[in-house]
Structure 1
Amino acid sequence: MSSTAEAVKVVAPRPRGGIVQSVNDSLVVARRNLIRMSRIPEMIIFGIIQPVMFVVLFSYVFGGSISVPGSGVSAEGYREFLMAGIFAQTVTFATAGAGAGIADDMHKGLIDRFRSLPMARGAVLTGRTLADLVQTTLTLVVLALVALLVGWRTHEGFFSVLGGFALLLLLGYAFSWIGALIGLSVRTPEAATSGGLIWLFPLTFVSNAFVPSENMPSFLQTIANWNPFSATVQAARELFGNLPPGYPVPDAWPMQNPVLASVLWSVLIVVVFRTLAVRKYRSATA
């Protein structure tokens, strides 16, 4: 018995320190998910087609019909106003994919296999969200190229534009943790997809993404102006230089300080929902 115990001690992998192990395990899980995505290219293709359709439809169908303060009813003016909203919608809609992926791993028992390994508990979820962030980045790059083709332009410096896209990706990463929590809370990937989308529609449409919030009823204006989605959209518009001259900025703190508000909202969402998701993961696999 003693020789067997000694053999087990030699063979069994020794977990490293907490932070080092967590980072390494998260990267390993992220790599596994990226390899899986690359072997199912239709996941990436369909994820790109939908936002491209939104760009084309909104640009050409609504472009000459919606008035934007500062530019009036202008297809070009609305296109520049619109694109930050489409970018933000794209990164947040990736939430459904994150939830469905985690629910699928739970359904197939893969999470139980991870649990049998000497790895950090939160690494499974962190790795998944990091992989989703890479896919979202790829989608955002393609979407930006399509937007340039239909006439969208930026009017600020390179680093300002880069900062706008960084805020969009931070919002997408934050929302992927909401998707992770949903994926752990349902029984099937189909339910995770539905649960990941149903709350996103009011969040994105009761915002300043597609129309100025001043066109809404007063009670909806308050909701839209304090919506974390709206803060990121407003910040991206400022950093891209897509706000028309004389555009009336709503008298609400997030709209007056959109960059800071966007960062604070995203960090808060990550902290809260990562904590809840990891706790749910531990109880679900206990």
Structure 2
Amino acid sequence: MTTTTLAPTTATTAPPLPVAAARTHGPLRKASDVAVLSARNLVHISREPFQLSDVTLQPVLFTLLFVYVFGAGVVLPGGASYKDFAVPGMLVFNLVTSTVGTGVGLSLDVNTGVIDRFRTLPMWRAGVLVARSVTDLFTAVICAGIVAATGFAIGWSPDGGVGRAIAAFALVLFFGYAVSWGCACLGLASKGVETAQALGLLVLFPVVFMSNALVPTQRMTPWLRDVTTWNPVSAVTAAARQLLGNPNPSASIHAWPMEHPVWAAVLWSIGLLAVFAPTATVLYRRRAAE
């Protein structure tokens, strides 16, 4: 009886995932990844245009509602026009509340398995977050244009000059961009799309209503007036009114944010971005690793 000795087989190892390629991306490759992912987001919007209702229909409805319904009961110091007072506030109001879409979009990607597919591609990992913010900045520009067009249609006009008007819109867009990273954190921390939307509205609506965006704050109770004075939305709104040359009753409040609203708005925007952008990156990595 003979025995046959089998030679040991050599174990084969699976090829590694293209993580190294993603880590070696240069600035141009990162920009290319962001451009491709941003185009993907825009394609989704083109296939379902109603996603833009919060930046197209909502600004028109809210502007008309507050100007013609609530504006009749608001008396401004010196008899100033409520239209000129309200439109800068509606600009901030609509841009801030529309950032909920950032959280909803990211929550949808995370919870539907799209992020798992992105992990297998040799792409910049943070490109998903940056592309979402770029897409939402594009839609925010549309929202700002619609608010301005609605304001012009009802008789609003900026009196600070073209250069200062551009600075006002740029400042509000920068603030909205910073807030969108906060909504990105909410979306990444949520376990579902509905939760992300509910949390976003639950956080943002009290912030925008407890500000000077819609009404003057001088007659509020002292504690509430202090809250609105240091509310970042109030600083951005006061800065927009100052740059646009529109009525700004908050300028009479003796507090640093209201006496220097432009600087306060810039500092708030930088601070929010410095906190929320790294936090969103950490949350994204954790969700992608699950």
Question: Post-superposition shift, 1:18?
Answer: 4.7
Please tell me whether residue 196 in structure 1 is matched to residue 200 in structure 2. Answer: yes
Q: Does 1:68 align with 2:79?
A: no
Say whether 1:28 aligns with 2:32.
no
Equivalent of residue 268 in structure 2, options 241, 262, 265: 265
Change (3 A) 1:219 1:18: farther
SS at the partner of 1:144?
helix
> Normalised by the size of structure 1, how large is the TM-score?
0.90
Deviation at 1:198, TM superposition (A): 0.6
Alignment correspondent of 2:88: 84
What are the superposed Cα offsets for residues 140-188 of structure 1, whole Å, 9 maximum, x if unpaired? 1122101110111110111100111111111111111011111111111
Aligned partners of 1:184 and 1:277 also within 8 Å: yes
SS of the counterpart of 1:209? coil
Q: TM-score, normalised by structure 2?
A: 0.89
Give the total of aligned pairs: 275
Which of 91, 113, 117 aligns to 1:113? It is 117
Instruction: Sort the Cα spacing of 1:13 and 1:278 in 2 relative to 1 into closer, same or farther, 3 A.
Output: closer
Out of 153, 177, 202, the position equivalent to 1:149 is 153
1:211 to 211, 215, 218: 215
For the 8 Å contact 1:168–1:232, the answer to whether it is kept is yes
Q: What residue is the counterpart of 1:165 in the other structure?
A: 169
Cα 1:146–1:46, aligned 2, differ >3 Å: closer, same or farther?
same
Can you list the C-alpha shifts for 1:86-123, whole angstroms capped at 9, x where unaligned? Answer: 11011111221111111111111011111222222221
For 1:59, the equivalent position in structure 2 comes to 67
Q: In percent, how many aligned pairs have the same letter?
A: 38
Could you tell me how far apart the structure 1 residues matched to 2:20 and 2:189 are?
A: 31
Q: Contact (CA 8 Å) 2:107, 2:193: kept in 1 or not? A: yes
Return the match for 1:47 from 55, 60, 76: 55
**2:30 and 2:124 in contact (8 A); partners too:** yes
For residues 10-65 of structure 1, the C-alpha deviation after alignment (integer angstroms, 9 at most, x for no partner) is x9994444544433322221121112112211112453212211111111112232
Kept after mapping to 2: 8 A contact 1:209/1:233: yes
**Distance in 2, Cα, partners of 1:230 & 1:215:** 15
Match of 2:3 in 1: none
**CA spacing shift, 1:28–1:67, aligned 2, 3 Å:** same
Q: Residue 223 in 1 paired to residue 231 in 2? A: no
Q: Distance in 1 between matches of 2:105 and 2:259?
A: 37
Q: 1:218 Cα shift? A: 0.6
Instruction: Work out whether residues 69 and 248 of structure 1, in 8 Å CA contact, stay in contact via their aligned partners in 2.
Output: no
Quick check: 1:94 aligned with 2:98?
Answer: yes
Matched residue of 1:121: which SS? Answer: coil
Structure 1 CA distance for aligned equivalents of residues 119 and 244 of structure 2: 44
Q: Once superposed, what is the RMSD of the aligned Cα atoms?
A: 2.1
SS at match of 1:285: helix
Structure 2: which amino acid aligns with 1:183? G
Q: Could you tell me whether the CA contact under 8 Å between 1:22 and 1:122 is conserved in 2?
A: no
1:281 is aligned to: 284
Of the structure 1 ranges 57-66 and 148-157, higher mean CA displacement relative to structure 2 is found in 57-66
